[in-house]
Structure 1
Amino acid sequence: MDDLRSLRELRAVVPEPGQEWLVPERRRLLRRMRGRRRGLGRALLLAGVLGTATAVAVVVARPQPPITTPVGPSQAVRLDPSVVLARAADTVGRREGAGEVPRPTQWQYTKTLDKQPNRDETQTFERWMRYDGKQTAGFDEAGKPVVRDVPPDPGDDDLSPQQYDQKLRALPTDPKRLLAKVTGDRHWIDWPVEEGVPKVVEPDASRAYRVITLYLSRYGVMPPKLEAAMFRALALIPGIRIEQGIPDAAGRRGLGVWLDNGIDSPFRDYDILDPETYRYLGRHTVWLRDEYSQSGGDLMAAKGSVWTTALLTSTIVDRPGERG
């Protein structure tokens, strides 16, 4: 089945009785499918198909060699989260500072890979977002640079790079206080406001995990002490699991962090960290059983299907087209 058709069906799903917590997971998956890409820049071509009002940049998608035999949950080796996250905090806390706060007219450049479960090729995306969020840039299919304005979207939960930076720098470095701050942040509770999607507040642990891992993926401007506090706060969330050898879309194998929140989800989402530097590498979603659309009964993803992404570069540049 075409992945865009699947995404449209996901947005139209109405939860069955007794599955109230499945809605946040489906919304989370949908936001991961488009929101992760937006979180590193804003949604590009896919966002327009999903009906968002955000202006998007067109990018070049270049085929990459497919990954062979991805590691699934049954093959992975589970690690002690408290030990791993304590080591991560010690390691990142010794890094050099993130430097000066970028100017509003500078640009955040990201290069990512995306390997969808129903495609053989891996797509490469390069994108630029002006730091104040007013413009995006990329390349069209002919390789021509394109700069587009970004109109405001009041119902969207995405932030500009500058707004992410401001939120980051306002967070406390005490792990317990940081966890309480991200858990109670009304921005992540009240938004997004999505037409046709019932508003269900996700459990605190799920929201805290989602927000912290989103912040960790924006490591370009992260102060070292705050990054260390992120990992220590992550260790306080009940249900954190870590497995080694989980591959991203670039074939890099790292530490797969996921949250066991007791929800009977058909898939498992891993956030992948480099096993030595603990930098954010990307995402790995594996389907634990067949998943069908509720609207038509079509198979959306077969058991064992894998969707991976990879964050290759995230840096600040002075103008679109620069790669740092």
Structure 2
Amino acid sequence: MDELTRVREWGTDERGPSTRARSAARARLTTAIEDETRGTAPGVRRPSRRIVVRGALAGLTAAAAGAAVVVTRGADHGTGDGRAPRLDTVSATQVLHRAADRTRAAGSTLPVPRDDQYFYTRTFIRRTPVKGGRTRTWTDESWMSVDGSKPSLREEYGKVHHDPPLGPHEVVWPPTVYAKLQKMPTDPDRLLARFRGSEPDDPHRDLRVFFEGCMLMMGPRVMPPGLQAAAFEMLSKLPRIRLDRGATDVAGRKVVGVSYPESSFTFLFDRTTYDYMGLRTEGSVPKKVHGEWKQTGFYYETRTLRELQVVDRIGQHR
């Protein structure tokens, strides 16, 4: 099934994106997939910068490595008797299952957002050049309209952007409206079947599943009970997922990374609690050289959503 057809039909009662929007989104997605399978050097694909994806799927993907990781557990996380931490070797599948268990146990204290409200976010960003150099950091604050019907104020890398409301035929994907998120399956097998679509011979379908899971975690949204856990368990069923033993969080501390071949996104989890810590991406800066665009300045970038609130207006904090 066409990705944009799934976007239009999955859990919405609204009209899908316009023909122009579908064409533009299809072009972005096709370009991303072609980049993934072209075999170019890691980092040449630029990850999406937008928190809210208008029209349909957007974003890019590249590679991280690892097959197992050593996880430290303290007295409060497995031994219970005050002994020194022990080391366990775990698989990517086990990490995702433990992350699912953690999110179920933690629950959520956020209220169910109304469509006319805003998500206030405070995001920490850390960017490190691949070949060494100065690490840059930002703390961005944004107020994003829950259903896209109001103007939003979005800060990226310290620069403020005033986003207009969505057009009448535009949609936010993945959904940010709570009622639409409630329609998504919380059974990991059903969720996987939805994301994979109806083309079993598609060689890129599992890459798209991983990409969809990343998009679901990236944007500001309040997850209905069980959805985030189902997403982690869905990803655990992908046969090629792997661990990144060299992953670090925004503070430079070692964490557990889970990635997929040919994807620039890496999920980051706490090494002890398995709390979800954010995403790492690989990217580059386009530069015109002798009339041709080339990718330069390859970097690793880590984003962590440090604060999420549901508020009534731009500028409000609870």
Q: Does 1:122 align with 2:137?
A: yes
Q: TM-score, normalised by structure 2?
A: 0.61
Residues 296, 155 of structure 1: CA spacing in aligned structure 2 closer, same or farther, 3 A cutoff?
farther
Shift of 1:242: 2.1
CA distance in 2 between partners of 1:277 and 1:141 (Å): 29
Equivalent of 1:171, from 184, 189, 206?
Answer: 184
Larger deviation, residues 271-280 vs 231-240: 271-280
**Greater relative contact order (CA < 8 Å, ≥ 6 in sequence):** 2
Map Cα deviations across residues 213-265 of structure 1 (whole Å, 9 max, x no partner). Answer: 322345752234222222211111121112345223343542211102xx4x8
The residue number in structure 2 matching 1:183 is 196
Q: Size of the alignment, in residue pairs?
A: 251
CA distance in 2 between partners of 1:101 and 1:203 (Å): 35
Q: The residue matched to 1:306 in structure 2 has which SS?
A: strand
The residue number in structure 2 matching 1:4 is none
Shift of 1:286: 4.5
Q: The residue matched to 1:233 in structure 2 has which SS?
A: helix
Q: Could you tell me which amino acid in structure 2 is paired with residue 126 of structure 1?
A: E
Map Cα deviations across residues 46-66 of structure 1 (whole Å, 9 max, x no partner). Answer: xxxxxxxxxxxxxxxxxxxxx
Q: The residue matched to 2:113 in structure 1 has which SS?
A: coil
Q: Does 1:136 align with 2:130?
A: no
- The gaps in structure 2 that reach 5 residues or longer are 1-26, 55-63, 71-89
Residues 83, 172 of structure 1: CA spacing in aligned structure 2 closer, same or farther, 3 A cutoff?
same
Q: Does 1:110 align with 2:82?
A: no
CA distance in 1 between partners of 2:166 and 2:212 (Å): 24
CA distance in 2 between partners of 1:175 and 1:292 (Å): 42
CA distance in 1 between partners of 2:65 and 2:314 (Å): 40
Q: Could you tell me which amino acid in structure 2 is paired with residue 283 of structure 1?
A: L
Q: How does 1:196-235 map to 2 (within 5 A)?
A: 203-217=204-218, 221-235=222-236
Q: Could you tell me which amino acid in structure 1 is paired with residue 165 of structure 2?
A: V
- The gaps in structure 1 that reach 5 residues or longer are 1-10, 43-71, 187-200
Q: Could you tell me which amino acid in structure 2 is paired with residue 172 of structure 1?
A: P
The residue number in structure 2 matching 1:315 is 309
Q: Could you tell me which amino acid in structure 2 is paired with residue 21 of structure 1?
A: T
Q: Sequence identity of aligned pairs in percent?
A: 28
Shift of 1:34: 1.3
Q: Could you tell me which amino acid in structure 2 is paired with residue 235 of structure 1?
A: S
CA distance in 1 between partners of 2:198 and 2:120 (Å): 27
Residues 207, 139 of structure 1: CA spacing in aligned structure 2 closer, same or farther, 3 A cutoff?
closer
Q: The residue matched to 2:244 in structure 1 has which SS?
A: strand
Shift of 1:185: 9.3
Contact conserved, 2:280 with 2:300, CA < 8 A, in 1? yes
